[in-house]
């Protein structure tokens, strides 16, 4: 039987994990077996730089953290070695980084994930990973909105230029 101190520490760990998962807009659950310490260090650094929190934790802890929530269905994939990556504000960051890593490390696999409390499968995570970044999408939207305005400005300028060419110069006054 675990001591009171250990039991309390585990309860706090479960509570913190539960809050982290509830507060995240997106999360990805992976099976990290078969990767070296050096590869794991590179992966963690890349995730940290993108603002993604990555934790290796026991399946039991995750099951307790998701118990009674909309993420309870994630329990079905919690077997073997498990790590969870969560992002508070970027829907694609974890998926992009982890899918890219899984492509180069065959034993490292994506198990499942979630977006805004809805569980998604590996196929949707891979689709999410292919989306452009938020900044790229915003710039694309800005270009779509500014294109008609820019075209109108060019048309007005062309009319003004044409009128200037057709207007004869006035004689200078003495």
Predicted confidence (pLDDT) per residue in 81-135, tens digit: 899 999 998 888 899 999 999 999 888 999 999 998 888 988 898 888 888 776 7
Predicted confidence (pLDDT) per residue in 16-69, tens digit: 988 998 888 899 999 988 888 999 999 999 999 999 999 998 999 999 998 888
How many helices (H) and strands (E) the chain has is answered by: 6, 5
| H or E, element range at 174 | none
| Sign of the torsion angle spanned by Cα atoms 120, 123, 129, 134 | negative
Q: What is the pLDDT of residue 166?
A: 63
Return all residues near 38 (Cβ < 8 A) that are at least 6 apart: none
Q: How far apart are CA 112 and CA 100, in angstroms?
A: 15
From the CB of residue 75, how many other CB atoms can be counted at a distance below 10 Å?
15
The CATH number of 4-131, from 3.30.70.1450, 1.10.3720.10, 3.30.70.1730, 2.40.70.10, is 3.30.70.1730
DSSP secondary structure letters along 38-89: HHHHHHHHHHHHTTEEEEE--HHHHHHHHTTSTTGGGGGG--SS-EEEEESS
Predicted confidence (pLDDT) per residue in 135-174, tens digit: 777 787 887 777 777 777 777 777 777 777 765 555 666 5
Is the full-model pTM beyond 0.85? no
Q: Are strands 83-87 and 109-115 parallel, antiparallel or unpaired?
A: unpaired
Domain regions of the chain by residue span: 4-131, 132-174
């Amino acid at each position: 039987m675990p001591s009171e101190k250990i039991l309390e520490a585990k309860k706090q760990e479960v509570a913190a994990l539960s809050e982290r998962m509830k507060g995240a807009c997106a999360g990805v659950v992976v099976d990290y077996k078969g990767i070296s310490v050096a590869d794991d260090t590179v992966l963690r650094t890349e995730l940290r730089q993108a603002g993604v929190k990555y934790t290796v934790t026991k399946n039991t802890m995750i099951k307790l953290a998701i118990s009674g929530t909309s993420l309870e269905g994630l329990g079905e994939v919690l077997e073997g070695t498990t790590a969870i990556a969560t992002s508070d504000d970027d829907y694609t960051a974890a998926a992009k980084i982890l899918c890219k890593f899984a492509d180069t490390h065959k034993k490292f696999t994506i198990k499942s994930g979630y977006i805004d409390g809805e569980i998604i499968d590996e196929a949707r995570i891979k689709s999410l990973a292919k989306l452009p970044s938020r900044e790229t999408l915003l710039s694309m939207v800005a270009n779509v909105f500014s294109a008609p305005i820019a075209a109108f400005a060019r048309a007005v300028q062309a009319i003004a230029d044409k009128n200037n060419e057709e207007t004869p110069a006035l004689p200078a006054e003495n």
